[in-house]
Structure 1
Amino acid sequence: MTNGKIVYLWLLILFMANGWWCCYCCWNEERTALLQLKANIKYSTRDDDYLSLWGANETSDCCRWEGIVCSNTTRRVIELSITGDILRNWRFNASLFVPFKNLKALLLPGHSLAGWVKNEGFEKLRQLRNLEVLDLSGNRFNHSIFEPVNQLSSLMSLNLSSNYIGLRSDIWFTHNKTGSASERLSGLDKLEILDLSDNNLDLENVFSTLQINTSTMALKRLDIRYNQFQSFLPNEELGALRNIEYLLLDGNILDENFLRSSGVMSSLKVLLACVDLKYLEEVSLSRNRFTGKLPPCLGNLTFLRVIDLTLNWFSGNIASSPLSRLLSLEYLLIANNNFEIPILVKSFCEMEELHLHSLQSWRRKR
């Protein structure tokens, strides 16, 4: 046997001994890190948890384990998802996730996580410079979660929905209005998706409370449904909405001022705003890009006198729309949309001549 063949044989044995023979498998150090994560939370798992299948045999490819996604090219772990109640009452330990240098998404929803090991909080994940998505929904974090996640400057999507952020935190928010920006979300300049829904937040203002850096933000989707926000954002921060495409506001107690910002939302595609505005008298959503049928909640604005929907792409039969329930309506402006107007509009316009006049004027313009 020639020296070249001997060297080749020894290299082959060495590669197989280190698991490198599987060129399309996950990396050994990341497989080991996953098994360490499993061992750390083993006390809270059950026999039927999918985590119990991790490393079922020594040669299994961790890229095929449930909850793990690897890069097709490098075979590095890029997404780690642990769902269900596997981590119930487990305290987060950042060191267990740091080995995954290429990690882009960390998803830990619905585990009732209440905190983290001392000096092992989420801020330590800033070592993961590729981390873009963090899902901590359905846990038990309070306002203290803002400070550590604020340091994850690479984040593009943050989900903190259905936590306890608004409970037992009134004193902190009320008396710390001028607190350090590091205690809010001012460091997430790349953030495009923010979900704070269902947190019982009873704060006065969305943007100023969280101190989001509105001059550099790229926010495209904001979900603050089912909180108790009182106002949307001060006039000087309207520029924060220039890139917004999805704005979800249901279940708040916003005043009418938030509607004044609609003119700057040039990218808006979806607006859900069935908020408690039953005494609202005037609404202007003109010159946006709203599409589809009118939301049913508009029919709840029983004191509405004026509504301007012009220059949008709304569609549907106007006679059977929620607007037909607005008995106090005096001015209806709907030009330049895609509404269907029946020839017989009497059923819709029985209330006052002004309603009928508005529709006739609209039809002439069309």
Structure 2
Amino acid sequence: MVIRMLPCQILCLLLAFLCFQVDCSLSFSSSFHHSSTHLCLSEQRDALLEFKHTISVDDDCDTYPTINSWNQSTDCCSWQGVRCNKVTGHVIGIDLSHGCLNGSLFANNSLFHLQNLQWLDLSFNSFYGSLLENSTLFHLQGLQRLNLAHNNFNGSISSELFNQLVSLTHLNLSDSGFSDLIRYAISLLSNLVSLDLSGNDDDTSLSFDAQGFDMLARNLTKLRNLVLDYIDLSGVSINSFLNLSSSLERLSLSYCELHGEFPGEVFGLPYLQHIHLSWNQNLTGYLPKTNLSLALELLDLSFCSFSGSIPSSFGNLTRIIFIDFSENDLGGQIPDVFENLNKLTSLTFYSCNFSGQLPTTLFNLTQLTQLDLSQNQLEGALPNHVSKLQLLEAFWVHDNQISGRLPSWLFTLPSLQQLDLSYNKLTGPIDQIQKPNYLDYIDLSSNEIHGPIPSTFFDLVNLSSLLLSSNNLSGVIKSNMLLKLKNLYNLDLSNNSLLSLSTSGNDVNYSSSQLGLVLFSSCGIRQFPNFFRTSKLMVLDLSNNKISGGISKW
């Protein structure tokens, strides 16, 4: 017999099933609310309160400290930063990150008596001391996530962490204060999905030897996130990177003292999204012509020693968002392969030894916010018309051989804030600006621009720095024009011999001016400009002018 169910009956059954599912899922969810019945086990509460009494809270804490919600009269499963299993009442998670906490995690700390802990986050506090080999932390063999980042520990990382906490999937000890060699026993953490041991720029960072890193690369086959910035890897064989997990999504190795030729095969790991190799100045290599990971979103090779050209396959990186090749000897022309990189927001080719014309497709990248092509040998003119760079905030092309007139679109792009075209061969006058944008910084110094500064130039009211030195500018700048630039701090118009200042506005009140640095050397000024008398002025250079007459009381 076939039983037919009415739509309303089906709906009721579905709702009942959904409620059951939600209830089951909530039984293991975070408990940050007050319950009518106390779920917390008394021994768990006592362990947490004992821990609270062994530490202190910074007096100058900007936020309400998480641990202040812990008190005897409420269910510990409702305390901020505590997560319980709602069936057994065991504490399974503690998050005290950014808690303004000070103290030592001594060996028999009551926090480590919570045997059912699955994750523990004590990051961004001021915990100190060493993690000794007899620490009860290492008895938490069900611990899956441990984050001790940004603390003030000292000494080496005990091998017991690697020998005992074999259930760990996420380990973050970044900038935690530990030093010394990382033992090869770290390769025992075969369940690790994410490992961050990065340090900072002090001298107490961790280091790997060849055996330790090679075993890590071979044994941590589930690894998706590996961050070792500022870790000393100078003793590591560069070929060990060939053994990294094929599941890797993020690889960050900045400031690691790597040397030798980086294996191009790493760029082809199928899931690789982020790769940071910056500031390894003895690291050489080439961008592979084929097999670049199509998952790449971020590629930072800045301040390395890569060479060769950018391959045409680069145009297939349709997910790429960030590229920085600063200070590499790539050479040749920038290939015109950017047409399909529609997600690219930041492109930096600073000092890459590029030459030739600018690729036209660069100016069609609608998501671009930063474009830096400085210190190359690029030549030719900028496009006459650009309309697609509506999100561009910074455009740096200084120290090249760009010629032709200064296009007016540079001053009308709605998001542009910083413009640096200094040390090029730009010519012609500056056109009147039809729709001034929000530029904050302009540097057009050391070009061949001539003619007067148009009056509409002073409608760029957000300017804080205006640098036009060493051009062929002429005409007279009136004081009331400068008065419109209320945020202007840095003004450099030096080495424009035909440019002068009108002193007819010497009686103008400049008390609200922000000017702190004014350079007018080697111009055509004939009378001392009193309107620069402001309380904020720190540097005034009027040398090599034709000033005559007296200087009024300052």
TM-score when scaled to structure 1?
0.66
In the alignment, does 2:167 pair up with 1:163?
A: no
Measured at CA, do residues 270 and 281 of structure 1 come closer, stay the same or move farther in structure 2, by a change above 3 Å?
A: closer
In the alignment, does 2:212 pair up with 1:208?
A: yes
CA apart distance, 1:249: 2.1
Counterpart among 134, 137, 144 of residue 132 in structure 1: 144
Q: What amino acid is the match of 1:130? A: G
Measured at CA, do residues 162 and 64 of structure 1 come closer, stay the same or move farther in structure 2, by a change above 3 Å?
A: same
Matches within 5 A, 1:10-159: 23=37, 25-41=39-55, 49-55=65-71, 57-58=72-73, 60-84=74-98, 86-116=100-130, 120-121=134-135, 124-142=136-154, 144-151=156-163, 152-159=165-172
Q: Secondary structure at the match of 1:241?
A: coil
Between the aligned partners of 1:130 and 1:149, the Cα distance in structure 2 is: 13
Matches within 5 A, 1:1-366: 23=37, 25-41=39-55, 49-55=65-71, 57-58=72-73, 60-84=74-98, 86-116=100-130, 120-121=134-135, 124-142=136-154, 144-151=156-163, 152-166=165-179, 169=180, 173=181, 181-182=184-185, 185-199=186-200, 201=205, 203=207, 208-209=212-213, 211-212=215-216, 214-215=218-219, 217-230=221-234, 233-235=237-239, 238-262=242-266, 265-277=269-281, 280=284, 282-284=286-288, 286-291=290-295, 295=299, 297=300, 304-308=307-311, 310=313, 313-315=316-318, 329-330=331-332, 338-339=340-341, 346-348=357-359
CA apart distance, 1:210: 8.0
Between the aligned partners of 1:114 and 1:96, the Cα distance in structure 2 is: 16
Q: Secondary structure at the match of 1:144?
A: coil
* Structure exhibiting the larger radius of gyration computed from Cα positions: 2
CA apart distance, 1:187: 2.0
> Where do 5+ consecutive residues of structure 2 fail to align?
1-34, 343-355, 361-376, 380-554
CA apart distance, 1:24: 6.0
Q: How many residues align?
A: 309
CA apart distance, 1:153: 0.8
Measured at CA, do residues 337 and 236 of structure 1 come closer, stay the same or move farther in structure 2, by a change above 3 Å?
A: farther
Between the aligned partners of 2:144 and 2:324, the Cα distance in structure 1 is: 40
Q: What amino acid is the match of 1:129? A: Q
Q: Secondary structure at the match of 1:97?
A: helix
CA apart distance, 1:105: 0.7
2:120·2:147 contact (CA, 8 Å) conserved in 1? yes
CA apart distance, 1:148: 2.9
CA apart distance, 1:72: 4.2
Between the aligned partners of 2:206 and 2:142, the Cα distance in structure 1 is: 33
Tell me what 2:472 maps to: none
Q: Secondary structure at the match of 2:188?
A: coil
Between the aligned partners of 1:257 and 1:338, the Cα distance in structure 2 is: 30
* Identity of matched residues, %: 22
> Where do 5+ consecutive residues of structure 1 fail to align?
1-20, 353-366
TM-score when scaled to structure 2?
0.46
CA apart distance, 1:285: 7.1
Measured at CA, do residues 330 and 280 of structure 1 come closer, stay the same or move farther in structure 2, by a change above 3 Å?
A: farther
2:153·2:178 contact (CA, 8 Å) conserved in 1? yes
1:203·1:209 contact (CA, 8 Å) conserved in 2? no
CA apart distance, 1:90: 2.1
